Amino acid sequence: MNPDPQTGKLAASRRLPQAGDLAPHASALAPAPSPQPRFCFPPFRYRHATRPFAKPMFSADLLAANLLSPMVLAFALGMVAMSLRSDLEIPASMHSAMSIFLLLAIGLKGGKAIALSDPSTLVIPILVTIAAGIVVTLLAYAALRRLVGLSTVDAAAVAAHYGSVSAVTFIAARDVAERVLGPTEGLLVALVVALEIPAIVVGLWLGQRKGGGRLWVSLREVLTGRTMMLLGGGLLIGVLAGPERAARVEPLFVGLFDGVLMLFLLDLGMAAARRLRDVRRVGVRLVAFAMLMPVVAGTLGVFVAHGIGFSAASSAVFGAMLASASYIAAPAAVRLGLPEANPSLYLTAALGMTFPFNLAIGIPIYLAAARWLAS
């Protein structure tokens, strides 16, 4: 150190600031933590604060991820084969076996996921799902009566299909959502079961208000039908067996799932093409309803799922569930409960128009809405 020329005393030399000098003030300099969400429904991952999907609401990658999947392409192949009058045909016994396999596999997967979670966390999602199914059924009934002009019985029959759920649409939406947005909650399988019954009950009640006593007979048909028995039974097996014991059957029910689904959609593509021939009979207004109602219900479902804390992928799948129309459980119940209803109306609308629409266009819309809400 050099002496001061005026005082002759030694002056303290200046030094560069060191990293340790800032340690006492580190807490003041650190950025403020991100605000925690006021409501996070366990056990779901809350993606609202992290905002990982900063992309346009609807993009070409969502459309390509859906349209170019092997399952959707197999469905298109079935429609093309039927349009060209090919002799391609899948035996009815094989169709039945594939549907049994798929429904049981879905139930097992959901049961394993539920076995790892707290049962108390199921209450709110199940109640919300039941309420959403009833609301969609009533909205569909009002639109069919006032805008499409169907009779009370026919409007109730079609509304029961649109308030219920298509298990195959659920499978296809979950497959695309997990590839595009990430894993989904196994709880969704339980919600498929919860969504199946209320809409059918409300639809049958709307059609039978002025007479008839077939409501409970139809309800029993739904509860003991193939869809409910396999989904609910598989769910129960997965819960009771647990992940460790259920792992023994995973090579069959997990390893072969996508291949069986592809064959199943090939068969459904041919069935949908047969129903398209009846489009002229149902009228333009019912065609418009079959295309617009899924968008309204699906968008509503995405917002509802987002509101109770679902992840982006699960919100998209829940939207697809509300947008779908049942063509397995609902037709059997309606045939018993409302025999005077016109089958060509609800079968053509559900299977011939809404199902292909959801596979090709609807699912990308619900994925885009979920990604936009999470961004």
pLDDT tens profile 244-292: 888 888 888 888 888 888 898 888 888 878 777 666 666 889 999 999 9
Nearest residue to 186 (alpha-carbon basis) of 247, 115, 128? 115
Q: Collapsing DSSP states into helix, strand and coil, what is residue 7?
A: coil
pLDDT at position 2, please? 53
Better-scored residue on pLDDT, 42 or 303: 303
All structural domains of the chain? 61-77+90-373 (1.20.1530.20)
Lowest mean pLDDT among 42-46, 194-198, 249-253, 357-361: 42-46
3-state helix, strand, coil split of the chain in percent (to 5) is 70, 0, 25
Q: Is this prediction's pTM over 0.75?
A: no
pLDDT of residue 140: 96
Q: 187 and 113 in contact (C-beta within 8 Å)? A: yes
pLDDT of residue 272: 77
pLDDT for 168 beyond 80: yes
Region for residue 124 given its phi and psi (left: phi exceeds 0; alpha: psi -120 to 50; beta: otherwise):
alpha
CA 8, CA 39: separation in Å to the nearest integer?
69
Q: What angle do CA 252, 258, 262 make, to 5 degrees?
A: 125
Residue 279 and residue 352 in contact, taking contact as beta carbons nearer than 8 Å: yes
pLDDT tens-digit series, residues 12-54: 445 555 545 544 444 444 444 433 333 344 444 434 433 444 4
pLDDT tens-digit series, residues 145-160? 999 989 899 999 999 9
The average pLDDT across 355-375 equals 91
**So what's the pLDDT on residue 292?**
95
pLDDT, tens digit, 9 for 90 and up, residues 99-112: 888 888 878 877 88
The whole-number pLDDT of residue 33 equals: 45
Give the mean model confidence (pLDDT) for residues 302-311. Answer: 94
Helix axes 187-207, 329-337, angle to 10 degrees: 20
What share of the chain in percent tops pLDDT 70?
A: 77
pLDDT at residue 62 in the model: 59
Does 180 or 143 have the greater pLDDT score?
143
Say whether pLDDT at 312 is over 90. Answer: yes
